[in-house]
Chains A and B, each alone.
Chain A
Amino acid sequence: QSALTQPPSASGSPGQSVTISCTGTSSDVGGYNYVSWYQQLSGKAPKLLIYEVTKRPSGVPDRFSGSKSGNTASLTVSGLQADDEADYYCTSYAGSDKVVFGDGTKVTV
């Protein structure tokens, strides 16, 4: 199972928005509404930001939002802050009892 495709990097100035794409196929992203997004700060464990494409866990700011169109999911971070600088990963159920992660995107603020 190949990793989902994410851009290696993205950047924005404080206060701006950045959108990260996560492209798969009809067998994973396009076929299921089990897309999640994670933030991994340097040296830390990943943290869940978005689950089931658009849902935010309690405690995650509404600056983080998720969406999906066809085989591509997206994470938008609005009102960028310095502490948003991190690696971001998408995941999707890929059928046949497998989960696949994206390559990861390094966001620079």
Chain B
Amino acid sequence: EVQLVQSGGGMVQPGGSLRLSCAASGFTFAPFNKYWMTWVRRAPGKGLEWVASIKHDGTAQFYVASVKGRFTISRDNPKNSLYLEMNSLRADDTAVYYCAVMRAWPNSFDPWGQGTLVTVSS
């Protein structure tokens, strides 16, 4: 059974930076390096929002318009890890961030990590 364990997150001031990590394990059908990966967030009192996705080999990355140029999604396949580098953080980036495995692009997200809270506040 695939498991995703997230780390990072916390409180940061507006304009600051933060890095989220997502460690994957339990791949049996195909290894980690065969799957696209994604970050999704849920702001307080709001719904889910797709943030970014990365191709299995890291050669393509897609972003929602509101984070383009500020966030960078990356992966380290030998370490079975996914990352989200967040710069120039704003108050409206405050959310619980989830990593998730994608069946393929642009298909569904399954499974998901446990989520990690990012709070941007002065």
Residues on A facing B (Cβ under 8 Å): 1, 3, 32, 34, 36, 38, 40, 45-48, 51-52, 57, 87, 89, 91, 93, 97-104
Contacts and interface: CB of A to CB of B under 8 A. Distances in A.
23 contacts: A3-B47, A34-B106, A38-B109, A45-B113, A45-B115, A46-B40, A46-B48, A48-B109, A48-B110, A51-B107, A51-B108, A52-B107, A52-B108, A87-B47, A89-B48, A91-B108, A93-B106, A97-B62, A98-B62, A98-B64, A99-B50, A101-B47, A103-B47
A34 B112 CA distance: 18
A36 B109 contact: yes
B114 interface: yes
A1 B115 CA distance: 24
A3 B110 CA distance: 21
Interface of B: 38, 40, 47-50, 53, 62, 64-65, 98, 100, 103, 106-115
A48 B108 contact: yes
Nearest to A4: B47
Contacts of B106: 32, 34, 93, 97, 99
B48 A51 contact: no
A46 B112 contact: yes
Contact of A38 (B48, B65, B103, B113): B48
Contacts of A51: 103, 107-108, 110
List of 7 A-B pairs having minimum Cβ-Cβ separation, nearest first? A51-B108, A48-B110, A93-B106, A104-B47, A36-B108, A45-B112, A99-B50
A36 B65 CA distance: 21
Nearest to A94: B106
Nearest to A32: B106
A101 B98 contact: no
Nearest to B64: A98
Nearest to A101: B48
Nearest to B113: A45
Contacts of B65: 1
A97 B54 CA distance: 11
A47 B40 CA distance: 13
Nearest to A47: B112
Contacts of A93: 106
